[in-house]
Structure 1
Amino acid sequence: MQVVIENLSKSFKEKNVLNDLSVTFDQGIIYGLLGRNGAGKTTLFNLIARELENDQGEFYLVDGDEKLPLKLDDIFLMLAEPDLPKFLTGREFIKFFIEVNEEKIKDLKDASYYFDLVKFLDEDLDRLIQDYSTGMRNKLQMMMFLILKPLVILMDEPLNSLDVVVQKEMKDLIKSIKSEHIIIFSTHILDLAKNMADEIILLHQGKIQKVDKKIKDNPDFEAEIIDLLKA
């Protein structure tokens, strides 16, 4: 399965953010999306997730020789700063989330299974979300896509708020599920992109550029990426 984006453009007043952008993403690949501040990474994610309306272009799926629509249920957008209901506990929120989405959840398991997957501490289950750190709220977001199992997972700066131990746990978890998904994550951290992504792509001057895999394994990786983003 592939997600295809063709001729995507988006402007805000006089600023052209995405310019006739075309790219194909394959299932089973984790893509690390790099770009300078203001390059349009979050805009791209919001367009794919239909949070914004594009000026032109289309998104669709390709399954073999078949062209299919990319539906909202196929997509999960994980935000850097999730806005979750503050006056529910983590346990209450996940219970509510499962009840609301039960009809479209395949192979539903007990909530405790998902809490264990993200290594959520028992002592935090019944605390209010308003008292959670950003990292803990991001764990709840991860549980949401683990429950829904959407084809496309978009992660906007997903691991920046996690400490190094939890970050490693979440990287391993994301890698373990990649065969079932198309995963694209944006980050400013070059080491994270290098260690977590199968392929690195750059968003620069409104277009996507795929980085040669040889650069990823090059000792001068950081310098070469910076040079590409300065060009």
Structure 2
Amino acid sequence: MELVLQNVEKSFGEKKVLTNLNFQFEKGKIYGLLGRNGAGKTTLFNCLGGEIQVDGGKMKLVNESKSRDLEMDDVGYVYSLPLLPEFLTGYEFVRFFIDVNVDVIEGRGNNIDALFVMMHIAQDDRHKLIKHYSHGMKNKVQMLLFLLTKPTVILLDEPLTSFDVIVASEMKQLLRDLKKDHILIFSTHILQLATDLCDELIILNHGSLTRISPEILTQPDFEEQVIELLRDESQYGSTKENADDGND
């Protein structure tokens, strides 16, 4: 399974944010999305998640000889600022989420406590109001939902920055376990985290996506080279990935 972006365009007024953007994301990989503030990472995620419409281009899921348009239900979005109903307990919210998504979740929601255990959420915390949860706890609940719905594409917007060292390590392992069945795109400003967790690094710059050459990542000064790429991608030889126009 691949997520194929073909000539994706998005502007806000006179400002072009995504310009003729082409890329192919493969299932089984975690992609680290790097870019300076204002480069358009959130806009790209919002387009993929269906929160805003693209101005042009195609976003498709391609599996062998079949392809179809990307739909909202194909995408799960872990927000940097979790959006959860704070008047419910964690357990109540997960129970409610299962009830309203029963057709999608099927038998995966039979043991809620097992899901909380998997996410290392203590028994007492499960029955606290979400408004009393830490930022990291709320992100855990967000990620728990994907264990239930199993969307093809999972977008992660700075999800680990609020975790302590131990929890961040647990979450990184969870993401590595999830990737075999999903396409994971991980937006972060922390280069070391991206290189540690992700299978491939890509840069969003000047409205387009550029794959960072694997050779750069093996060099002693790779951090400096990546920073230079973020300044101006045209200085280095990584080529933009062109989606196959035949996948209609």
Q: What range describes the TM-score normalised by the shorter chain of this pair?
A: over 0.9
For 2:216 and 2:107, how far apart are their aligned partners in 1? 39
Partner of 1:55: 55
How many Å separate the matches in 1 of 2:223 and 2:146? 31
Task: Note the residue ranges of structure 2 that are not aligned, 5 or more in a row.
Answer: 233-248
Following superposition, the deviation at residue 214 of structure 1 comes to 2.4
Corresponding residue of 1:208? 209
The letter of the residue matching 1:154 is L
Alignment check: 8 A CA contact 2:50 2:71 kept: no
For residues 153 and 159 of structure 1, the distance between their equivalents in structure 2, rounded to whole angstroms, comes to: 14
Name the SS of the counterpart of 1:105 in structure 2: helix
Q: How far did residue 215 of structure 1 move?
A: 2.1
* Cα deviation, residue 90, structure 1: 0.5
**Residue 223 of structure 2 corresponds to which residue in structure 1?**
222
| Number of the residue aligned with 1:40 | 40
SS in 1 for 2:128: coil
- 1:174-189 pair list within 5 angstroms: 174-189=175-190
Identical pairs, percent: 47
TM-superposed deviation, 1:74: 1.1
Which residue of structure 1 aligns with residue 238 of structure 2?
A: none
Q: Distance in 1 between matches of 2:174 and 2:218?
A: 22
Aligned counterparts, 1:2-151, within 5 A: 2-108=2-108, 109-151=110-152
Helix, strand or coil for the counterpart of 1:185? strand
**Structure 1 counterpart of 2:218, which letter?**
D
Q: How far apart are residue 106 of structure 1 and its match? A: 4.5
Structure 1: gaps of 5 or more residues? none
**Is residue 194 from structure 1 mapped to residue 198 from structure 2 by the alignment?**
no
The TM-score with structure 2 as length reference comes to 0.91
**Cα displacement (A) at 1:153:** 0.3
- Computed over aligned residues only, the root mean square deviation of the Cα atoms, in angstroms, reads 1.0
Give the aligned residue type for 2:200: E
Tell me the distance in 2 between the aligned counterparts of 1:106 and 1:152.
19
Shift of 1:216: 2.4
Provide Cα deviations, 1:167-195, integer angstroms capped at 9, x if missing partner.
01000011011110000010000011000
Q: Distance in 1 between matches of 2:147 and 2:111?
A: 12
Between 188-197 and 71-80, the greater mean CA deviation after superposition: 71-80
Instruction: Specify whether residues 56 and 130 from structure 1 end up closer, same or farther in structure 2 by C-alpha distance, changes over 3 A only.
Output: same
Give the partner amino acid of 1:32: G
Query: What secondary structure is seen at the aligned counterpart in 2 of 1:93?
Result: helix
The CA deviation string for residues 49-104 of structure 1, in whole angstroms up to 9 with x for no partner, is: 11011111111111111122222211101100011101100111111111111111
| Mapped contact 2:58–2:69 kept (Cα < 8 A) | no
- TM-superposed CA distance for 1:107, in Å, is 4.2
Determine if contact 1:106/1:148 at 8 Å carries over to the other structure. no
Using the alignment, how far apart are the partners of 2:217 and 2:150 within structure 1? 29
Say how many residue pairs are matched. Answer: 231
For residue 4 of structure 1, give the secondary structure of its aligned residue in structure 2: strand
